[in-house]
Amino acid sequence: YETIGGMRAVAWTDALQGVMLAVGLTGLLLAASPTPDNLAAVTTWIAREAPEKVSVPGWDVCRNWFSTLALIGLSGAVYPHAIQRIYAARDSTALRRSFSVMVFLPMVTTGSVFLIGILAIEQLAGTGPIEADQVLPLLLTEWSARSPVLYALSLVVIVAIVSAIMSTADSVLLSLSSILAKDVLGTTVLRGADEARLTHVGKMVSWVLVAGLVGIALNPRVTLWGLTELKMEILAQVAPLFILGVSWDRLTTPAAMAGLVTGTTVYAGLLASGNSQLWNLHAGVVAMMVNVGVCIAVSKIGAPPPSRLEPLHG
């Protein structure tokens, strides 16, 4: 549907997949039924059986949490497909209305998953050590065996999860193929090509990317959260370009490029050496701080940007 319909098809399918996700999360909460009494009982059980999970975390854990907040907050703000959604809005009124709703949606989605995770601590206590992304499948398996209604709700949740993944993947694929076709090939190999030619090349690039990604997906070596961290840490190296570029008028193009290259190199080096975290900070956050430092240093060392011309009088 992306090859045939382009941005309009992606926007419509994302809307439909979002509705499915909302239905799936509602079913998930109905299956879990986390009433205040249930949550209080679970909290009491956790405090008795695993007190370290409800105790005040140490500075090392807090530092890692702050690192995660910075990583997701800054990287999520510069998602290419999130910026691309601006151009899919019908008008500025529709865009403002959408953003006013979207700002609260993470509280609903992540809040639901958080409650499910709390309930899972007690329900899956006897299964031994498990990965974080195995919790929900295990819970759905347990709930689906209780009644036909919960079985149907579990199916809805699975479809909703797949839809959520697709709604992100198709947008990223559209953005990436557009960048490669217009900003890379369109300025080098296909310089001077018309819009139809670039669009056709973009579609072909999409198929090549999908073929390569399918091969990687069939041999997974990291967890879903590991892939999320990898994506966010790479995007974190782009965040300084947007934030400094908008808020600091002294940022120069050479400084932005130097910061981007340096931050990406530092992150790749830390990842290759097995240091995914330094002092409980994500490697991507450490590299982003280096990125910002290089941007500021190179901008201050370089020549100041030309001042604006004053209007002539007289």
Locate 53 and state its tokens: 């999970």
Question: Which pLDDT band, with edges at 50, 70 and 90, does 313 fall under?
Answer: very low
155 and 7 in a common domain: yes
pLDDT band at 1 (very low <50, low <70, confident <90, very high): low
Give the residue from 114, 137, 165 where a domain finishes.
165
Domain that holds residue 268: 236-304
Residues 29 and 109 in one domain: yes
For residue 253, name the pLDDT band (cuts at 50, 70, 90).
confident
pLDDT at 296 over 50: yes
Give Cα 208 distance to the centre of its chain: 23
pLDDT digits (tens, 9 = 90+) for 53-96: 888 888 888 898 999 888 888 888 887 766 767 777 788 888 88
Does 249 lie in the same domain as 122? no
Return the H-helix or E-strand segment holding 105. Answer: helix 105-123
Residue 176 domain-assigned (yes or no): no
Q: Tell whether 120 and 251 lie within a shared domain.
A: no
Q: Does a structural domain hold residue 174? A: no
Residues 11, 145 share a domain: yes
In-domain check, residue 158: yes
Q: Does 230 reside within a domain? A: no
Q: Give pLDDT, residue 193.
A: 78
Whether 147 and 274 share a structural domain: no
Domain boundary among 165, 184, 207: 165
**Tokens linked to 15:** 């809307």
Digit-coded pLDDT (tens) for 186-235: 888 778 778 788 877 877 887 887 777 776 666 666 666 777 778 888 88
Judge whether 237 and 260 are in contact, CB under 8 Å. yes
Among 165, 186, 203, identify where a domain stops. Answer: 165
* Higher local confidence (pLDDT), 49 or 314: 49
Looking at the structure, tell me whether residues 15 and 107 fall in a common domain: yes
Distance CA 102, CA 312 (A): 47
pLDDT at 309 over 80: no
